[in-house]
Amino acid sequence: MLTLRTPAKINPVLEVLGPRPDGYHELALVFQAVGLYDQLTFQKKEKGVQLSLSEGPNDLAADDSNLIVKAAKLFITEVLQDKAGVQVTLQKNIPMAAGLGGGSSDAAATLRGLQWLFEVPVSEEKLADMAGRLGSDVPFFLTGGAALGTGRGEKIEPWTSSAQFSLLLVKTPEGLSTPAVYRSGKAQLTSGEKAKSFQALLKKGNTKEIVSALFNGLEPAAFYLRPDVKRVKERLMEEGVLGALVSGSGPTVFAVTSTAGEAKNIGEKFQGEGFEVFVTETISGGVERQ
């Protein structure tokens, strides 16, 4: 038996460069892992893939539409040659459809978990290839920390620098569909230089400069579809946070705060109003053993 925990992410910078022939969009974005985790437990079985939920939302699918199941079946087919199976138990803490990468993180943890559980040699290139086929965000979670993503987000350049700062995450009750955000036609197109230059700011570690460079080209689309998300960001700024931004395609808004205590105090003002609120911080790691 093997138990792992796997983090959520935010995107301090997300640039949409334009549409691609394959139907996706060319992106340049910064990934940053944060200390909000799902937990997965793996146990060998003779055949097949079974997923159960120990804690979390009742509407989470445990069938072939789930990225954990897809990742496990892909690994078992391509690496284990269908000679084994696995039972996976998920404790779901990262909210779904939130722009925090929870499903992608679980998929990466499944690939890494099966590599460790069955003690089989698999190259990082092979794992990254399988991860990229599962989803654009999945390869990032194999490394964690901070990284630059290009292509549709699946080409990962890990960064050794990862500035630590306190965060408040506020998610509205209703989720937001990534395809709907792109289809809205409201995304702001940029060149990709904002994402590529962000690494230098992380190395310097000046929080004021970091928050001044926060940017998300999908934010106008998220605000267009969900004005309540815009109001969350406005409220956070009114509370005096250092900076705030929609994460990914939303609807979660993350705020950078001076201290964890400040994040907690501001977060309490959103609790009781139907929001999911998390006080956390940036982290330098990724999938890890429990």
State the DSSP H helix or E strand holding residue 124, giving kind and residue range, or none if neither. helix 124-134
Q: For 268-284, what is the mean pLDDT?
A: 95
Confidence of residue 194 (pLDDT cuts 50, 70, 90): very high
Domain 2-159 has CATH 3.90.10.10: no
Contacts 24+ apart (CB under 8 A), 233-237: 235/270, 236/168, 236/170, 236/266
- The vertex-267 CA angle with 264 and 273, nearest 5°, equals 150
Helix (H, G, I), strand (E, B) or coil at 54: strand
Q: For 252-280, what is the mean pLDDT?
A: 96
Position 57 pLDDT exceeds 80: no
Domain locations in the chain as residue ranges: 2-159, 166-281
Q: Are 184 and 224 in contact (CB under 8 A)?
A: yes
The model carries a pTM of 0.95
Position 124 pLDDT exceeds 80: yes
Task: Note the pLDDT of residue 163.
Answer: 80
What is the C-alpha to C-alpha distance for residues 151 and 16, in angstroms, rounded to an integer? 10
Task: Encode pLDDT of 6-52 as tens digits.
Answer: 999 999 999 999 999 998 999 999 999 999 999 999 999 999 999 99
* CATH class in words for 166-281: alpha beta
Alpha helices, H only, 184-290: 193-196, 198-204, 207-212, 219-225, 227-238, 260-270
% residues pLDDT > 70 (the chain): 98
Task: Note the pLDDT of residue 162.
Answer: 67
Helix (H, G, I), strand (E, B) or coil at 143: coil
Position 62 pLDDT exceeds 80: no
What is the C-alpha to C-alpha distance for residues 29 and 147, in angstroms, rounded to an integer? 8
Query: Which residues are annotated as catalytic?
Result: 9, 137
